[in-house]
Amino acid sequence: MTERTPLLHYRLVSSVNESEQQPAPPAREAPEQLPGSPRQRSSQQRQQPKKLSIFFGVVIPTLLSMFSVVVFLRIGFVVGQAGLYQAIAMFLVAYFIISMTVLSVCAISTNGALDAGGAYYMISRALGPEFGGSIGLMFFLANVCGCALYVLGLVEAILSTFGIPEDQTVAASPHQILPTGYWWSLLYATGVALLCLFVCLIGAHIYAKATFIIFLVVMFVLCTIFISFFATSPRVITLPSSAFNTTGTPTTANFTGFKLETLRGNLFGGYALDYTTGTMMTFATVFAVMFNGCTGIMAGSNMSGDLKNPSFSIPRGTITAVIFTFIIYNLLIILVACTCDRLLLQRDYSFLKEINVWHPFVIIGVYSSTISAAMSNLIGASRILYALAKDDLFGTVLSLAKRTSHSGNPWVSVLISWFLVQLVLFSGKLNTIASIVTIFFLLVYAAVDLACLALEWASAPNFRPTFRYFTWHTCVLGIIGCAIMMFLINAIYASASIAFMLLLLLLIHYLSPTSSWGYISQALIFHQVRKYLLMLDVRKDHIKFWRPQVLLMVSNPRSAVGLITFINDIKKSGLYVLGHVQLGDLSTLPSDPLQSQYDSWLALVDHLNIKAFVNLTLADSVRHGVQHLLFISGLGGMRPNTLVLGFYDDCLPKDKLIDPFLSSSESTDTCSNSQELEQPPLFHFTSLRGSSDRHDHGEFGDGKILGPQEYVAIISDAMKMLKNVVLTRYFNDFDRTQALSPPSSRKVFVDVWPINLMRPDSSSYVDTCSLFLLQLACILNMVKAWRKAKLRLFLCVEEGRSVRGSEEKLGQLLKELRIKAQVRTVPWDQVVALHWQRQSGWNKKEQVESQDSTADGSVERAVEEEDEDDYVNSFPSNATRVSDDYLSAVNRLILDQAQPPPTVRFLYLPRPPADTRRYTAYLRQLELLTQDLGPTLLIHGVTPVITTDL
């Protein structure tokens, strides 16, 4: 019904843990402690128990687990109900199912070195901690229930021989001396469980030494059974009182010996009532009972920690045991069908005792197999619980289970396992927990098949098992077979066990720490992502399916938390890359300094709960570093199409990633400086610049000086590479939670100004850049957290133009684009007048203005003479003619129209001037335009991203 678990305690694990807690030896003693030194080898020989061979470590445990009470008490039941033909078919199907799992076990066990833990170790190391922990806990519960099952089975067998029937006041035979009833049965079961506990607390080696003797006893009893079919003469057997017929008169049945008529009568099915339960038998119910005798195939693999060579022993020993049991079972059903009439098989499940050459032989076989199985399951449950506790998958919940004795016996795990067994014993009925045990073990078998299937499908180069007699087809057949059997036995229990396993899987996934075992999910994801990236053809891109793929350049994440979380909202399930440039020359460095920084950046991604990749680069300048990232970020069709930069200004950043421990210490002054230094920082990012670092304006470099010329050159480079550009300002203090949770009287607004405010002679709302602004604002409004925000679209108009016509035209455009926004008209005649006043007095001669801007240098602003035609048609020249008064007026206009003030603004970003000498003036104009506007995005789109077509 269930299977044997590890029989020997794991002294090696205890000794290793004790050695890890001791201080390291001095350097002069190191040669004596080398793994290959004689001293170390002799120490290991003293600490480790003697390892087991194939026969003693795999074959015997597997045979004892599969030859349970079913072989003694249910062989006749299967043939009597199903007939010889269907019985053979049942065993063929059952062994086909377990054979598929055996192939998976052999494949995994030969793929590398195995440690103690058996099936739990294989599943956890192959599938990762989530599956390993959930299946391991269910494997533990299966062993607990299995121990209780065998204890109850032993009590039932004892009472059937020595118990006084409840309906009789006087014993029918002299050996019936034990009173019966629920509480008496519970008392006997408790005594047997205490005996198992006593043996397990002393040490598993006691049972290991007795295993071979128990195996000899079981094999001897089986031999006597085979001999009895030939040596026993035909006889009439009185059926037990529980099998009385409806008239109440005892019936008899015949052991006919080898007769053709008897064989013919047992060839076909003849399903009848089960006299022990009173239910009508069917093919499914008989198959479920029979299948209990075919489980236990992992008893050998559970001994992995005690085998000399697990990878060599497990495949050979397990396959040998499976083949041997298959032959024995089929020989028994053939002999039974040839010698016993159907009435005997259906009404007396213990008929083997009556036909045996000496009746007590079968009783001895039942007792020895059940007591050994009960002890084995209790030992196995304690070892699995100990392994789960050592892996720290459940945190402090199982911390007590780590404790071991001086000999390495996990006595606390044994006590916990025994306590749970005692709780299960209160059920009092073997049939109540038999199906649960079988379903739990089938779930473990299916998980092993799944582990092997995942390793095969992942195509990992390191999956090279020496056992090659398996394919992914055998794994799939094993999974399907186990699933069918689970629901065939009990659909409700099967569904509940699967749901419980999935719940455990989710809990471990979210609560357990990251392990170093490796995650099969990562291998499978890599395999599938590579395949789909190759299928993602950039030549098939269409504007209807455009989505932003953002490269956000970050100098120091400590001051960019608000910006990082905001950009995460506008990516719309697209690619999101956090980029960082560190200045340096790899040829002058001993190693790559970026490799040690990735962990902190990935921890930042987890901490902020965003979906982003991290890409760092080393370059001689920030400009070259950004070029590198724009060229190489992404793969195939997943490449950044939008560059996001922090604004170039003098605003002092604020640290949003202060270590909680350090902040609490500073506020309470309860910890000393030395204690604070001992605590590791939350993230290993450099500290922010101080107020004196006026030249450190860059928001995405490595803390070095980034000049305005290089900053604007980065913008120009991105546009040359056909990348959309977004400049963000005033996001240092941005808090997404506070921004989206204003006071109840205030609503959330997002303002969009889709006009080039630095070119008042052009009021087009339908160019590529304007539509890109609308698209990003619409995407932000589609995010769940931003859906309550209202879009406000501002339409700038001059006197003499049809305000209503412009508003209707823009409204129709929004309707066609399926964008819901409130359109507001803004008269700006007075603002535009400032611009034209400047132009009327413009002198065509070259004028050069210079002024001191810093203590150690000056920034030149050059204004050159241009033709009037160039001025009218060329934006770069137009940008040079925009006055500071005009920009300040536009800035005031934006502030005045924003009532109530918005959460974020979207503005039009004009192209940088063609003349690189005007970069400084261009940047100063952007600064004046966005002065004191709050969180603002300056956006320039270079590619069409929106369409009105279906």
Q: Is residue 617 part of a domain?
A: yes
Looking at residue 638, what DSSP letter applies?
A: B
- For residue 449, what pLDDT band results from cuts at 50, 70 and 90? confident
Q: pLDDT tens, 668-691?
A: 343 434 333 333 445 678 777 554
pLDDT for 668 equals 38
Q: Is residue 126 part of a domain?
A: yes
Beta-carbon contacts of residue 246 (< 8 Å; ≥ 6 apart): none
Calpha distance 797→793 (Å, rounded) = 13
- For residue 114, what pLDDT band results from cuts at 50, 70 and 90? low
Q: pLDDT tens, 374-389?
A: 887 888 788 888 888 8
pLDDT at 534 over 60: yes
227 and 201 co-located in one domain: yes
330 and 427 co-located in one domain: yes
pLDDT for 851 equals 40
pLDDT at 475 over 50: yes
Q: Is residue 26 part of a domain?
A: no
pLDDT at 6 over 80: no
Q: Is residue 642 part of a domain?
A: yes
792 and 708 co-located in one domain: no
Which stretch, 509-513, 785-789, 843-847, has highest mean pLDDT? 785-789
- For residue 430, what pLDDT band results from cuts at 50, 70 and 90? low
pLDDT for 338 equals 93
The whole-model pTM stands at 0.64
> Which domain range does residue 458 map to?
56-166+175-242+249-511
Where is pLDDT greater, at 211 or 86? Answer: 86
3-state helix, strand, coil in the chain (%, to 5): 55, 10, 35
Compute the average pLDDT of residues 389-417: 80
pLDDT for 332 equals 92
473: Cα within 13 Å, side-chain hemisphere: 3
Compute the average pLDDT of residues 409-417: 86
466 and 564 co-located in one domain: no
pLDDT for 717 equals 94
pLDDT at 407 over 80: no
pLDDT for 122 equals 75
452 and 318 co-located in one domain: yes
751 and 716 co-located in one domain: no
266 and 415 co-located in one domain: yes
Beta-carbon contacts of residue 178 (< 8 Å; ≥ 6 apart): 158, 159, 162, 163, 164, 184, 188
- For residue 518, what pLDDT band results from cuts at 50, 70 and 90? low
620 and 721 co-located in one domain: yes
pLDDT for 203 equals 67
Q: Is residue 47 part of a domain?
A: no
592 and 503 co-located in one domain: no
725 and 746 co-located in one domain: no
For the chain, what is the mean pLDDT?
77
Q: What is the CATH number of the domain that holds 199?
A: 1.20.1740.10
Compute the average pLDDT of residues 777-798: 86
Extract the tokens encoding 769: 């850049």
Nearest CA to 201 out of 473, 415, 471, 484 is that of 415
Instruction: Please state the domain count of the chain.
Output: 3
Q: Is residue 270 part of a domain?
A: yes
pLDDT > 90: what percent of the chain?
Answer: 17
pLDDT at 661 over 80: no
pLDDT at 284 over 60: yes
Compute the average pLDDT of residues 217-244: 84
pLDDT for 37 equals 45
231 and 363 co-located in one domain: yes
Three-class SS state of 279: coil
Give 190: exposed, middle or buried? Use CB within 10 Å, 0-12, 13-18, 19+.
middle
741 and 723 co-located in one domain: no
Q: Is residue 81 part of a domain?
A: yes
pLDDT at 244 over 70: no
Compute the average pLDDT of residues 612-631: 93
Calpha distance 638→576 (Å, rounded) = 10
Q: Which of 61-75, 515-529, 797-811, 843-857 has the lowest mean pLDDT?
A: 843-857
Q: Which of 28-37, 515-524, 929-938 has the lowest mean pLDDT?
A: 28-37
Please say which residue of 511, 534, 561 terminates a domain: 511
Q: What is the CATH number of the domain that holds 587?
A: 3.40.50.620
Q: Is residue 561 part of a domain?
A: yes
